[in-house]
Structure 1
Amino acid sequence: MRIGILNSGGDCPGLNAVIHGVVGAASERGWETVGFRDGFEGLLPPGDFKFLKRSDTAGILKLGGTILGTTNKGNFAAKVGAGDVAKVPQEIIDKAKKTLDQLEIGALVIVGGDGSLTTAHQLYEDGWPVIGVPKTIDNDLQATAMTFGFDSAVTSVVDGLDRLNTTASSHKRVMVLEVMGRHAGWIALWGGMAGGADVVLLPEMPFSMEKVADFIKLREAQGHHSSLIVVAEGAKMPEGLIAKENEHGGELRLGGIGAMVAEQVEKLTGKETRSCTLGHLQRGGGPTALDRILGLRFGVMAVKLASEGNFGQMVSYQSYHVGSVPILDAVHKIRTVDPDGEVVNAAKAIGICFGQ
């Protein structure tokens, strides 16, 4: 048996752990592993790949990014926007299939987010022996309770808030931290709670800047002269606007709402306010212990599915157990924060304001 693996879409802490898990589990079975460079593009003739041995993955657990490289551009960029999906041209698929056949790949592990898994499902429908592994720091994929990379991103947010808190306290300022997550508020919610934020603004929960301002004024009257606000990049301003930088490769690139919130807070409260965008710092650096273990387990399960010939499946984490679900159950279905859920209610119970 010869198994292939590729990473597609954005980079993410824990990708190397998945590679380590696949290569290790495959080696134990006496299988060969072929790593394709730069995502699906590595499949196109003449093929850009490398045979991976255990020695190639020694020591990569602690590394961020991916040793195989990745891309969200090129011939296989099927995702064209939130909820809108385009098919990869059949001639591109046929070219890539030749590489797969020439290398005698018996199973192809595709590690990616919603867009990449959409492509994976198209390839499976075309007869490819595909297995999906969910990857996104946004934690917004349906059919899995958690994705690797999320914990590392949250840890980055917490570190940022810890640092902003000291300067906010020193200058009696309001500090606004804009975080990633696209159309889901998981990073903002978890990072805000763990980092001691006073206000958390999410895409799933409409908010009023007046309510936020009133809350900060109340804190001021109670003797709390500094405040921390976390806002998800996909949160909508009260006017219904989503801050966006531009369109990039068909995908809406979000950003800028932190500065908008800071401007309104200063205007409505008179408090000196500063904004900071954490940006790609959330996706960089080494993975946390949780993401290393989760990535390893995902990689091992992918090899198990390959051994069973269980293709068209995506590795899934539910109730502390790693199993699998059909890829189709995971794509086109974004998992968002429940405004009435237990986590939000826990945050409200300790006095966190959601601008409502």
Structure 2
Amino acid sequence: MRIGILTGGGDCPGLNAVIRGIVKSAPDDVEILGIMHGWKGLVDLEYITLTDDDVEGIHIIGGTILGTSRTNPFKSEEMSQKLEENVKKIGLDAVIAIGGDDTLSVAAKLSSMGYNVVGVPKTIDNDVSNTDFTFGYHTAVNVGADAIDRLHSTAKSHGRVIFVELMGREAGWITIEAGLAAGAHLILIPEYPMTIDEIVNYVKERMENKGYMIVAVAEGFKPTELENVVGDKSEIDAFGHIRLGGIAHYMAEIIKERTGYDTRSVVLGHLLRGGTPTAFDRILGTRYGVHAMKLVLDKDFGRMVALKGNEIISIPLEYAIATKKYVPFDYYKLAQIFFG
């Protein structure tokens, strides 16, 4: 049996733990091919053979040894034909796709076309539905919380308002949990827009009473007055997403103009997805990899591994991409207790 594994979309801590889990749990008569650079590797026929020696100790390393990309093979007829030809050419009996919404949407389409596919959920934003957590998210929250912890001292020393921008295109999980953990005084996430006037009022009240302020803001947040999110609309990926970034600077400039306070912005960006994974993410990635291999061996295709409570289960791939997992209002209400 010959199995191809690939990692698509943005990198995140824990990817290598999944790869190691798959390879280490494969029987001796199963050959594992590592497809390079996500779906691009199946289009361009780039792959390597993976053995136990190749994955020794990689679970503690961030990123992915297979590389990644945001390639959408169904964006053109030529690319999709190459992908199908190459799956047959290298004799893949199954593909394990490790990725988020976009990567899994390609996996689901391939599955509907009759190919043997298993999915592993990966997104730094933790917004894949029907799984409690995605690996890498826990690490990102820890890094974000640590950064906000450090910013408290400089904000307090200088009497500043600091907007801290964290990842989160449509879901604010990283921002709300890092903000809660580190005691941010206001948390702005995409699910719950707020007017600029409301934000200004929070800032004025906090500064008058306490003299400094930390605002955690997700990159996908936009105040009610804005029609679109802040980002570079000239850069659009293969799945139609613009490159986000700049909301912290945008809000800092407005607050400075409206209040006169010394206001700064910090963008954590890719710091959140870099570096070594936490123990939680190493273990979760490992368990996902082992269970994905089990699904392949059981010929239980068209499914994605998922975490429910402390149990690794599997769900149909189409369930994973049907909706996104957003921060519920009750959780945001909890955060609001600590605003100001």
Give the TM-score, by structure 1 length: 0.90
Residue 56 of structure 2 is matched in structure 1 by 58
Structure 2 unaligned residues grouped into runs of 5+:
none
Task: Report deviation, 1:269.
Answer: 2.7
Residue type matched to 1:345 in 2?
Answer: K
Please tell me the residue identity of whatever aligns with 1:71. S
CA distance in 1, matches of 2:218, 2:89: 45
Q: Does 1:69 align with 2:67?
A: yes
Residue-by-residue CA offset, 1:144-190 (whole Å, 9 max, x unaligned): 12111111111121121122112111111111101111011111111
Residue number in structure 2 paired with 1:111: 98
> In the alignment, which residue of structure 1 is the partner of 2:259?
269
Read off the aligned partner of 1:13 and give its amino acid letter.
Answer: P
Deviation at 1:216, TM superposition (A): 2.8
Residue 250 of structure 2 is matched in structure 1 by 260
Is the counterpart of residue 248 in structure 1 residue 236 in structure 2?
yes
2:215 aligned residue: 229
**CA gap 1:251/1:215 in 2 versus in 1, 3 angstroms:** closer
Q: Report the equivalent of 2:272.
A: 282
Establish whether residue 328 from structure 1 lines up as the match of residue 318 from structure 2: yes
Amino acid at match of 1:129: N
Please list every run of at least 4 consecutive aligned residues from structure 1 whose deviation after the TM superposition is greater than 3 angstroms: 87-94
Q: 1:163 maps to what in 2?
A: 150
Corresponding letter in the other structure for 1:35: G
Q: Which amino acid aligns with 2:180?
A: M
CA contact (8 A) 1:316 1:325 kept: yes
| CA distance in structure 2 between the aligned counterparts of 1:285 and 1:332, rounded to whole angstroms | 31
Matched, 1:33 2:19: no
- Please give the alpha-carbon distance, in whole angstroms, between the structure 2 residues aligned to 1:156 and 1:172: 24
How far has the Cα of 1:346 moved from its partner?
2.4
CA contact (8 A) 1:36 1:68 kept: yes
Q: Distance in 2 between matches of 1:102 and 1:296?
A: 30
Paired position in structure 2 for 1:238: 224
Matching residue of 1:81: none
Mark the CA change 1:311 to 1:90 in structure 2 (over 3 Å): closer, same or farther: farther
Partner Cα distance (2:313, 2:156) in 1 = 46
Deviations 1:277-308 (A, max 9, x none): 11111111111111111111110110011011
Q: Aligned partners of 1:185, 1:278: CA distance in 2, in Å?
A: 14
- The amino acid that maps onto 1:240 is L
> 1:30-179 maps to which residues of 2 (within 5 A)?
30-44=29-43, 47-73=45-71, 76=73, 87-179=74-166
Cα distance, 1:89–1:263 mapped onto 2, change above 3 Å: closer
**Within 2, Cα distance between the matches of 1:227 and 1:268?**
15
1:2 shift after superposition: 2.2
The one-letter code of the counterpart of 2:301 is F
Bigger helix share: 2
Q: Secondary structure at the match of 1:101?
A: helix
Segments of 5+ residues of structure 1 without an aligned counterpart are 77-86
TM-score, scaled relative to structure 2 = 0.94
Distance in 1 of aligned mates of 2:153 and 2:216: 16
1:352 and 2:330 correspond? no
Q: Sequence identity, in percent?
A: 42
Q: Could you tell me how far apart the structure 2 residues matched to 1:91 and 1:239 are?
A: 42
Question: In the alignment, what sits opposite 1:84?
Answer: none
Q: Give the aligned CA root-mean-square deviation in angstroms.
A: 1.7
In structure 2, relative to structure 1, the CA distance for the partners of 1:88 and 1:268 (3 Å cut) is closer
Query: Any conservation in 2 of the 1:114–1:332 contact (CA below 8 Å)?
Result: no
* Matched letter for residue 72 of structure 1: R
Q: Which residue of structure 1 aligns with residue 204 of structure 2?
A: 217
Cα contact 1:88–1:119 (8 A) shared by 2: no
Amino acid at match of 1:234: G
- Distance across 1 between alignment mates of 2:198 and 2:20: 48
Aligned residue type for 2:277: P
* Paired residues of 1:134 and 1:147 also in contact (CA < 8 A): yes
- Given that 2:187 and 2:335 are in contact with CA atoms closer than 8 Å, whether structure 1 keeps it comes out as no
1:285 is aligned with what amino acid?
G
